Amino acid sequence: MATTVISLYTKLRGIIGDIDSTNYRYTDAQLRDTYIPLGIDYLSEDHYQQYAVSGSGDAATIAPDPSSNRDNYDDRFLITLASAIVILQSEIARSANTGVIVSNAAGRTDLSRVATSLSDYLDRLESQFSYHKSRRAKGMIEQELAEGDSAQELRSGTDKSTLYYEGLPVVEFEVTT
């Protein structure tokens, strides 16, 4: 069964904190037509699998289906994280343009640190994204090894070897001679 774009809304809204259904910051159309496709592009920049949105409106689907890959790894979470990263990047740019300090007799309102707080959250999301991508890469290497495909050994020592995927160490094993 194909993964619909709207099936990613709930998790994406949870990640970005847009959970008040009476007052969403982002409309379903914005998520469907802008941010999720941009998240797919962000993921596809250096990912082995290229995804695209096909169809339109609420019937839009992601092709190929990210929930059924060759090595049984579900890429829907990576797409959702990538979409959240794109949203936070745009929020940081927006808040950087409006970061002001307003002082008057009633008090002081400081909006200059909003971009910094969002940037900290973006760093955490990017770290989580990298972690899940490296787990994905490890799964791909293990699948290739199980199928007997050759993996490229980029570095070896006298006792241990390490296999790399996209520059990340994914499998360490003992070398016996």
To the nearest 5 percent, what fractions of the chain are helix, strand and coil? 50, 20, 30
Give the pLDDT score at 2.
82
- What is the chain's pLDDT, residue by residue, as a tens digit (177 residues)? 688 999 999 999 999 999 999 999 999 999 999 999 999 999 888 777 788 899 888 899 998 888 876 556 788 999 999 999 999 999 888 887 776 677 777 777 776 777 788 888 899 999 999 888 888 777 766 766 776 644 454 444 444 555 555 555 555 555 444
Q: Following DSSP, what letter does each residue of 148-159 receive, concatenated?
A: T----EEEE-SS
pLDDT on residue 119: 87
∠32-37-43 over CA atoms, to 5°? 140
Pair of tokens at residue 54: 């096909």
Can you tell me whether residue 98 is helix, strand or coil? coil
Model pLDDT, residue 159: 47
What Å distances lie between residue 167 and 29, 51, 108, 153, 171, CA to CA? 37, 22, 48, 12, 12
CA 112 to chain centre: 27
Cis peptide before 64 (omega within 30 of 0): yes
Query: Do residues 93 and 30 touch, judged by C-beta distance below 8 A?
Result: no
CA 35 to CA 26: how far, in whole Å?
Answer: 10
pLDDT value, residue 70: 59
What phi-psi label fits residue 162: left (phi over 0), alpha (psi between -120 and 50 degrees) or beta? beta
Contact 159, 145 (CB under 8 A): no
The pLDDT value given to residue 157: 44
Nearest C-alpha neighbor of 137 from the set 165, 172, 171, 167? 165
What's the whole-model pTM score? 0.71
